[in-house]
Amino acid sequence: MEKQSWNLQPGVQMDPKLAEEVARMACALKSLDVYTSMLLDDEGCPEDLRQTVQEGLDAMARVFQW
């Protein structure tokens, strides 16, 4: 079994299998954040995409400790 790079925030209770799946989605979202950050350097990233990604990252931070 792989060592996980996250822990649930204190007070968050979630089935471990479900938490693993959600963490995978969170990692994908973090990757999207890197991608949109690169686009921002090229000034071609729409603001609504940047905002959507940031909202997702904020939501994941409420669930997981990285």
Residue spans per domain, the chain: 15-65
What is the pTM for the complete model shown? 0.57
Q: Which residue has the tokens 């979630």?
A: 14
Distance between the two ends of the chain, CA-based, in angstroms? 19
Report the distance separating Cα 4 and Cα 31, nearest Å: 17
Collect all residues with Cβ–Cβ distance below 8 Å to 40 and sequence separation of at least 6: 50
What are the tens digits of pLDDT across the range 20-61?
888 888 878 877 777 777 776 666 667 777 788 788 888 878
Of 45, 51, 62, the C-alpha closest to 6 is: 62
